[in-house]
Amino acid sequence: MSGHSKWSKVKNIKAGIDAKKGQFFTKMTREIMIAVREGGPSVDSNFRLRLAIQKSRDGAMPNENIERAIKKASGGAEATAIVELNMEGYGPGGIAIIVQAATDNRNRTIQEIRSAFNRHGGNLGENGCVGWMFESRGIITIPLEKLDKDELELAAIDAGAEDVQAGDEFVDVYTSPQDMFKIRTALEAKHYPVQNAEVSMNAKNPVVLEEKVAFQAIKLLNRLEEMDDVQTVASNADITDEIMAKFEEQA
């Protein structure tokens, strides 16, 4: 999701608790099944599965749903029918977008994603056209509430974080992918309330958009997120809180 823009952060945090909870469960079921297919059912040796299970639990997905997905994948047939797609393109204002999908109908999903780009001022490109603008990073999001920013930053750095960025409402702790779980555990041990933690594609150089273009970008990103087959969306759009608020008022 993320560039790691404010837009994507809000979308990710809300993913498991809003009216689209069922869709979130479907997406995570597919991610768990693919993870099991690739690395086996053991969370100790399968990092991707461990990450998928933790994200599912963060989104309030019941344990029985998680266990059912692992069993289905271990059975083989249903998981084998799901293929992964990684698609790259450009959105309004030339922003870079990466879409990761999991589907049992490759042609349908490609057409739906292509159509979304075309309808909202973007276009698909060749694989690799924007991937170089992103890097894989662990991102741990903690709501500020009454927390002391400086103390939280020091705790994160002591735990091994690569960077800490504080906004008005949230603090983002950036880690290497392999250290994300360790740092999350260290912060939770100090009673910091982790609201979201994931390994995602993070934009190296976010692009700030003016209001009109930002509105177009949000519509495209929202449309992609809403697709059943789309697992994650990452962009390098940096959309301010003020523009997000205006967009939500008009929605």
On the question of a cis peptide bond just before residue 191, with omega within 30 degrees of 0, the verdict is: no
**Which residues contact residue 65 at a Cβ distance below 8 angstroms, ignoring those fewer than 6 apart?**
25, 29, 56
pLDDT of residue 6 exceeding 80: no
Instruction: Supply the pLDDT for residue 13.
Output: 41
pLDDT in tens, 8-55: 444 444 444 454 778 889 999 999 999 998 899 999 899 999 999 999
pLDDT in tens, 88-119: 999 999 999 999 999 989 999 999 999 999 99
Instruction: Supply the pLDDT for residue 80.
Output: 66
Name the band, by pLDDT with cuts 50, 70 and 90, for residue 207.
very high
Q: How many residues does the chain have?
A: 251
% of residues, the chain, pLDDT over 90: 69
SS (H, E, C) 96-143: EEEEEEEECCHHHHHHHHHHHHHHCCCEECCCCCCHHHEEEEEEEEEE
Instruction: Supply the pLDDT for residue 5.
Output: 44
Mean pLDDT of the chain: 88
Domains parsed from the chain with CATH numbers = 6-80 (1.10.10.200)
The mean per-residue pLDDT over the stretch 174-187 comes to 95
Cα gap 125→122, rounded to integer Å: 10
Cα gap 27→218, rounded to integer Å: 21
pLDDT in tens, 144-156: 888 999 999 999 9
pLDDT of residue 176 exceeding 70: yes
Instruction: Supply the pLDDT for residue 73.
Output: 87
The mean per-residue pLDDT over the stretch 123-149 comes to 93
Shortest CA distance to 187 belongs to which of 144, 227, 140, 230? 140
Q: Which single residue is written with the structure tokens 């995602």? A: 200
Cα gap 9→11, rounded to integer Å: 5
Shortest CA distance to 171 belongs to which of 190, 155, 189, 158? 155
The SS3 of residue 196 is: strand
pLDDT of residue 2 exceeding 70: no
